[in-house]
A and B are shown apart, each in its own frame.
Chain A
Amino acid sequence: MNIRHIEPFIDATVGVFREMFGLEPDFLNPYLLQRDDRNEWDISGIIGIGGDSKGVVVVSLSGELAQALTAQLLGGGVATDDDVVDAVGELVNIIAGNAKKGLEEYRLDISLPSIVRGPDHKIAWQQNVPIIGIPFKIPLGRFHLSIGLENIITG
């Protein structure tokens, strides 16, 4: 795993929060996520990556933050559960899609987003790939970006 393959995702995350919500996320210290780490988040949007590399990109949020961000996208009011699922899916889709710009030397395909919810929900990480966890902080709360990508081996 190369830092150059991680950065596009971080840039995309920052760009998306700036464009969609007018927010500048703060980075907290990155770390290695253990596959069996307890998950402290309420909702995760997951995009599978295929093609030259295999992996997943996950954006995890607390329920309140997901609710607040969705409401902002809706232009106010209270977001329904369906709205939140929709918004988190779109969020992770845009992050993964935009990150491809920085990884153009590879052909990567991104899946449709899927959503996992509930306290301590489980994410099926692939084996033998380090997962980089990057917590972000915005005024509304905290969210978390996790990236596990197989080494991209050029052909």
Chain B
Amino acid sequence: MKKSRNLFVRAAMNILTSGDVTLFELGQRSRVIFLNAVTIAGAVMISLFAVIGFLSGNVPLGLACAVAALIVSINFLSIRLFRRYMLGGIVDCLVIFIFYYYLVLSGGEAGSGVLWINTYPLITLFLLGSVAGSVVALTFGVAVAVAVFVPALNAAAFSPLYSARVIGTYFFIWLFSFIYEVVRKLTLSRLEDSNSRLAKTSDALQAEKKQTDDILSGVQEGIFLLNRDYCLGDVHSAYLSGIFEQEDLPGSSLLDLLRSHLPEQDLTATADFLEMLFGSTVNSELLREINPLSEIRCTYSGEGGLVRGKMLRFTFARINAPDSPYPVLGVVSDVTSEYELKQQLTVEERKHKQSMENLFRIIHVDPLMMREFISDTEAELEHANTLMKTEGVPGEEILATLGTSSHAIKGNALLLGLDEFASKVHAYEDSIKEIRTKGHSWRDLLALTVGLGDIRTDLEELNTLISRIEKFQLNTAARASGANSLLQLSLDKFIRKESERLELPVHLQFQSDEDALLSDEYRKLVKDVLVQLVRNSFAHGIEAAERRQAKGKNPEASISIRLENNDDELLIHYRDDGAGLDLAGIRRRAAQLPLLAERAAGLNEAELVRLIFMPGFSTAVNAGMEAGRGEGMALVRSRVQEAGGKLALKNNPGQYLEWTIRLPGTGSSAAAIA
């Protein structure tokens, strides 16, 4: 129902506006509507007159009206087709002029034809405008006056007094219509003015809003307003959502937004601070200084439950408008990358799963060996720390000592299966190596000192654990076996482990003379040296089983160690039946070193052998935990030399590599062991 009515209204409007959809201007639109209405009404009325004319037998009237109706109808169509509204108006006015004049002249029923003329000023003024309309209307008035005052000219033969009233009425109507039209036009133009002014203002506002929007959507800072409940206002920069990692910020409390991302302490400080910010007791400068959010670390959970830290910088300003619903402006930026640049290096805390691991290891390890490990490690640490404590020792030397010490500690830890501890020391060794290549700073030394402290703390923990275990364990056998068998035990264990890991079958033959017992002094030294030699055999000497078979060797390689007492001198023989030193490999490696590159080709065998003692020299491509750092042989040599001993090497390529180490005086070994 409503729909059909709408359709009807739309159709009527379409007809009245000539289907012209561009007619927006109010004055023009009403004129066109009026024009069409007049034209349609005119066509209908004149047709009616034509019918009346023909019916009453007045054929000339009928014909004249029919022609006029036709003209008006054509006019209606041409208005619709060509939209020449002014022209249409003129045509209408002319037709109506003639038609009305005819009515005046013909007199009509009791002279009523003259009544129609009073609509003419309305028509002309509306259709042709106030000036042209008046000219036409007044011309028509004069013509009508002639017609009514000259009795011969009109059929009704009005009295002069009546004629004067007809004309007077006509002119009054014209006058009021004229005034109305003028006022209407003035009003319209004023309305248009104010409309266009409004349109302009609205454009300007739109443009300003767009600028504000652009700023708020583009700015790389979170900008927001806070009300007295610390809640965010409706307008904020788009960036803010990214910072808080949350949409729908308006109305949320700043404290809530920060709550789960700040330590409790900072949150409390923030709440206190906001209270002061909205109060008036604390001045703005002091507020700025004490802002707890001026650089604050917030944590957010990221993918896979990882916690990400973000450094945010908040600034706040009170808005100096009393009674503002949002009295505080806040700006926040993400300064994480800036902060991370400042923050050079953060040391990750090691998990404390270590003590558990140690506990399980120790249960399966002889406490005596554990004790030995601890005292050895302590001695290593002490050795390095003494050097550090000595004023004036160059950093390079400290680093070198820390390097060899940690290498030795790591070896011993692996020996006992303390993998966690070993990997920690391994990482420590790595960092020393890295610092040595890039050149060290004081801060690096500090970091290494702190690292050393950590290792010692772990060691103390280990010690406590062992003491506890010893109370339960009563393994007297191992205690009685003495240092030498302990050495054999640990070497055997180490070789078995390496053998399994590297899939190189190796058999240890260990022989110790009765009088070659190790003193406490040498116990650790000998073990360190032998461990390094074993490592070296595995890394460089011993071939794979197939290869050995192909060369006619026993597929199981053998390492033989013999400790001998020779005139108060401790002799250690070490021999593996591997491939011997890879002299070609050493030469190739030497050729890659800037210092040796030129001379590499010309080095003789003895010189090449000497290279393996150079700290940092290794032919292994990848440094693993077992070998390849180039510290092992350097450690062997420095240890032996420190003890005043000598080192000899016999290389039989393809057959064996033999080491002979002489250490002065075996010490009162028997007494020491007992």
Contact = CB atoms under 8 A, between A and B. Distances in A.
Q: Do chains A and B touch in the complex (CB under 8 A)?
A: yes
Contact of B398 (A29, A32, A34, A128): A29
B391 A1 contact: no
B24 interface: no
Contacts of A29: 388-389, 391, 393, 395, 398, 442, 445
B445 A30 contact: yes
Contacts of B449: 30-32, 132
Contacts of A134: 446
B460 interface: yes
B447 interface: yes
A3 B385 contact: no
Interface string A1-35: 11110110010000000000000000111111010
A129 to B, nearest CB: 7
A70 to B, nearest CB: 25
A30 B347 CA distance: 17
Interface residues of B, number: 29
A4 B349 CA distance: 11
Contacts of B442: 27, 29-30
Query: Counting chain A CB atoms within 10 Å of each CB, which of B346, B398, B446, B457 scores highest?
Result: B446
B193 to A, nearest CB: 65
A63 interface: no
Interface in B384-409: 385, 388-389, 391, 393, 395, 398
Binding site secondary structure of chain B: helix
B521 to A, nearest CB: 21
B454 to A, nearest CB: 6
Given A4-B347, A29-B445, A32-B385, A105 B453 contact: no
Contacts of A34: 385
A52 B413 CA distance: 33
Query: Counting chain A CB atoms within 10 Å of each CB, which of B263, B346, B449 scores highest?
Result: B449
A31 B460 contact: no
A22 B177 CA distance: 99
Interface string B329-350: 0000000000000000111010
B261 to A, nearest CB: 13
B297 interface: yes
Contact of A31 (B263, B388, B443, B447): B388
B456 A32 contact: yes
A130 interface: yes
A126 B460 CA distance: 14
Contacts of B346: 2, 4
A28 B453 CA distance: 18
Query: Counting chain A CB atoms within 10 Å of each CB, which of B345, B398, B447 scores highest?
Result: B447
A131 B389 CA distance: 13
Nearest to A152: B349
A130 B263 contact: no
Contacts of A27: 442
Nearest to B448: A30
Contacts of B461: 128
A31 B449 CA distance: 6
Contacts of A31: 385, 388-389, 449
Given A30-B445, A129-B457, A135-B391, A1 B297 contact: no
B450 interface: yes
Contact of A130 (B349, B391, B456): B456
Given A29-B445, A32-B385, A1 B395 contact: no
B445 A130 contact: no
A105 B297 contact: yes
Given A2-B349, A128-B457, A105 B446 contact: no
A131 B398 CA distance: 19
Interface in B334-368: 345-347, 349
A3 B450 contact: yes
B349 A151 contact: yes
Nearest to B381: A32
Contact of B447 (A3, A28, A129, A133): A3
Interface string B429-452: 000000000000011011101101
Interface string A114-155: 000000000000001111111100000000000000010000
Interface string B592-613: 0000000000000000000000
A130 B454 contact: yes
A105 B263 contact: yes
B643 to A, nearest CB: 24
B6 interface: no
A132 B450 contact: yes
Contacts of A6: 446, 450
B347 A2 contact: yes
Query: Counting chain A CB atoms within 10 Å of each CB, which of B263, B389, B391, B460 scores highest?
Result: B389
Contact of B452 (A7, A32, A128, A135): A32
B265 interface: yes
Contact of A128 (B265, B345, B460): B460
B453 A132 contact: yes
Contact of A1 (B345, B381, B450): B450
Interface string A31-64: 1101000000000000000000000000000000
B382 to A, nearest CB: 8
A73 B445 CA distance: 32
A28 B391 contact: yes
Contacts of B456: 32, 130
A34 B449 CA distance: 13
A131 B456 CA distance: 11
Query: Counting chain B CB atoms within 10 Å of each CB, which of A1, A30, A34 scores highest?
Result: A30
Given A29-B395, A34-B385, A130-B450, 4 more contacts: A29-B393, A32-B449, A32-B456, A128-B457
Interface of A: 1-4, 6-7, 10, 27-32, 34, 105, 107, 128-135, 151
28 contacts: A1-B453, A2-B346, A3-B347, A4-B346, A7-B446, A10-B446, A28-B391, A29-B388, A29-B395, A29-B398, A29-B442, A30-B388, A30-B442, A30-B445, A31-B388, A31-B449, A32-B452, A32-B453, A32-B456, A105-B263, A130-B453, A130-B454, A130-B456, A130-B457, A132-B446, A132-B453, A134-B446, A135-B391
- The 9 tightest CB contacts between A and B, nearest first, are A130-B453, A31-B388, A30-B449, A31-B389, A3-B450, A30-B446, A3-B447, A27-B442, A32-B385
